[in-house]
Structure 1
Amino acid sequence: MTVAERESHTAKRSPLRKLIAFATNEPVLSVLVVALIALQCLHPRPWLTLPGLVDWQTVLTLAGLLILTKAIELSGFLIWLAHRVIHSIHSERALAFLLIGLAAVLSMLLTNDVALFVVVPLALSLHELTPLPLKRLVIFIALSVNAGSILTPLGNPQNLFLWQTSGVSFGGFVWGLAPLCAALMAMLYVMAAASFRAKPLDLSKDTEAHRVDRVLVGVAVLLFVAFVLLADSHHAGIGLAGVMAGFLIWRREIVLKIDWLLLLIFVFMFIVLRSVAALPWVHATVGQLGLATPLRAFAAGAILSQGISNVPAAIMLAEFTKDWRALAYGVSVGGFGIAIGSLANLIAVRLSKERGMWLPFHLYAVPFWLIGGAVGGWLLLHI
């Protein structure tokens, strides 16, 4: 084969290679697309009816939050704040406590993904200054964003979905999830106290200046509060239109850099999972589980999350139970255990760039899931 023939052959194969590369990089979206095609072949629905399966209020709210959290991230404020805080730390255990708390608080306000993109790189940069048990720190950061994000509707996608579909107020949602969040965070700190030593640390070399765009962070915070108030009153579309238009005119790169594929994944999740839930045999099988009782709805969320992750589990099970609190408890606990239980686990491990993470991760996460499940079930029934 001549050079020209090889180049021609490679060019002909390049679209297929691009498709394979995309499927490898975006496995969740690829699986959803294949599932939708299969469903349309086996149990076809009119294509024009599929958008009606999407909870657009949730998608619009998520889009607005992605833009605003990206603005706060690009302002540099979070990294500046994190590096300022660590200078009061003098031991390995104290650093672990701080990173766990920082990750939890950020996840409550800015989603668990944003918290990971701030705190994991911070841990990596600190590891360059002084030796740290990096694998263990990343594992606890992952557990922390899962536990902390439970508290608010902004913390993670499943909370956002349940908040929007339940009709409960922002404050009512926080009040309902506060006991579980507090219990899991207490468990996490007890486990951290036993897992990290009081070994002295020297972080005095962390003298690099971190620039903050004060105007951007100020505008983003104000818009964040306004957007949450609009979303709470079920006017997320109006809020998104204003936020998107403003940033497209002022800082277009913020809108362009958000995770648009995540929004597309959400759209496909609604279509695929609600189509699956409507299948007669699926509806009959899940219906026999008796999810009308809180404990069964909780157990279903905690267990199903281990197989399909907690966001899809919340969307699917919401078709069978209206007990939003029991379902929220279940899928929140379901974020622990097997790594796939929460996409945040996969993101944290990926950001760490450390090999051999999966075994130690599960040695911590699976027992945490089992104990958290027992604690969550007791709280659901007694508080």
Structure 2
Amino acid sequence: MPAAERVLKTNRNLLSAIIHYVATEPVLTVLVVALIALQVFHPRPFASLPALVDWQTVMTLAGLLILTKAVEYSGFLMWLAHRVVHRIRSQRALAYLLIALAAALSTVLTNDVALFVVVPLALSLNELTPLPLKRLVIFIAIAVNAGSILTPLGNPQNLFLWQTSGVSFGGFVLALAPLCVVLMAMLYAVATVSFKRIPLDLSKDTEPHPVDRPLLGVAVLLFTAFVLLADAHRAGIGLIGVALGFVFWRPRIVLKIDWLLLLIFVFMFVVLRSVAALPWVHGAIGQLHLVTPLRAYAAGAVLSQFISNVPAAIMLAEFSKDWRALAFGVSVGGFGFAIGSLANLIAMRLSGERGMWAQFHLFSIPFWVVSGLAGAWLLLHF
């Protein structure tokens, strides 16, 4: 093959690889490009960039990723999910169950992990009997966003706001509980009219699901200890203990966590805090006067629709210290457009169904509008 053709083929392969990476990791790609642009037009000393990262939040997230991966690998969640569905007799009852399961798991295992359990469960049940799969996946996505509001462990934005606010674990739960309860009640009301009492026969679901009991027991004990350490702002100590323990006992668990998510989080802090420090951005957001809870809430709910709720929380925290109003706002911001929460995108990707986008927004946008009004009322009266 002539040298010119080899060079051309190499360039094509490189371009194809770049396009594939951008398609599979668009968030990280955008953040890297944004950081390069910032360093070109508004350079900062590279040695100062690590100081922009909230390492306490990153360490807490890393520990939770290891522990939730251990629970996932134990097989307990899938075993439990398949056990409970045997009591289901109708599509509406199945929808109720999957919503409850997704919301409950998201409170302790993050919304992403909950999706990786409940969506595959719905897919496997659909192979046994025809189900309204698209609608079920949409309601599961909304459920993990609504349920994860309750605790600091439920989603990355809660984790960040919890660590930066200094509030206790229990105090955070009490502050967010009213919003979570109202959103879950709304979701069940919509599910009641969206799913019919069509009989189901799931008796063919007889596949065994073994549980690694030693792994599950250790994971539960370490999970409790780690949350207590994180609550005392000692996440670094907890992370060292958890990581070293699993590296020597079950190294696969540490190797298989979502390392890219941690990297994305680091880049988010650097990029968004650098952007917030730009004079024109600082001035523009400053003009919003986020000094009242309602303004901070509205900013979080609206900004999430354009940059997702995790980046919105990180950016707005530079301009408002009202962590509760921000938590309310970015939580509601997870509904609406699919980009409002990365969990929405994960759910649609896991489903493998075509035509999900249009149907998703038929449910999520009205839910965002109503939940936005409900959240504003709760913020002012509770």
Class of the TM-score when normalised by the shorter of the 2 chains:
over 0.9
Partner of 2:347: 348
| AA matched with 2:177 | A
Shift of 1:3: 8.0
Give unpaired runs (5+ residues) of structure 2. Answer: none
Aligned to 2:151, the other structure's residue is in SS state: coil
Partner of 2:115: 116
Shift of 1:47: 0.5
Partner of 2:189: 190
Partner of 1:61: 60
What does residue range 135-174 of structure 1 map to in structure 2 within 5 Å?
135-174=134-173
Shift of 1:24: 1.5
- Distance in 1, Cα, partners of 2:125 & 2:252: 29
Shift of 1:20: 2.5
Partner of 1:34: 33
**In the alignment, does 2:244 pair up with 1:230?**
no
Partner of 1:219: 218
| AA matched with 2:296 | A
What does residue range 4-15 of structure 1 map to in structure 2 within 5 Å?
6=5, 9-15=8-14
Partner of 1:298: 297
Aligned to 1:203, the other structure's residue is in SS state: coil
What whole-Å deviation, never above 9, does each CA across 1:202-221 have from its counterpart, x for those lacking one?
A: 00000110011000011001
Shift of 1:371: 0.1
- Distance in 2, Cα, partners of 1:7 & 1:134: 47
- Distance in 2, Cα, partners of 1:218 & 1:71: 10
- Percent sequence identity over matched residues? 75
RMSD between aligned residues? 1.1
| AA matched with 2:354 | R
- Distance in 2, Cα, partners of 1:28 & 1:194: 36
Shift of 1:12: 4.8
**In the alignment, does 2:196 pair up with 1:207?**
no
- Distance in 2, Cα, partners of 1:365 & 1:3: 55
Shift of 1:15: 3.4
- Distance in 2, Cα, partners of 1:309 & 1:24: 18
| AA matched with 2:126 | H
- Distance in 2, Cα, partners of 1:32 & 1:186: 36
Q: Decide which moves more: 347-356 or 284-293.
A: 284-293
TM-score by length of 1: 0.98
| AA matched with 2:70 | A
Shift of 1:174: 0.2
| AA matched with 1:289 | L
Q: How many residues align?
A: 382
TM-score by length of 2: 0.98
Give unpaired runs (5+ residues) of structure 1. Answer: none
- Distance in 1, Cα, partners of 2:125 & 2:136: 11
| AA matched with 1:105 | A
| AA matched with 2:286 | G
- Distance in 2, Cα, partners of 1:253 & 1:366: 40
- Distance in 2, Cα, partners of 1:370 & 1:3: 61
Aligned to 2:336, the other structure's residue is in SS state: coil
- Distance in 2, Cα, partners of 1:255 & 1:33: 25
Partner of 2:275: 276
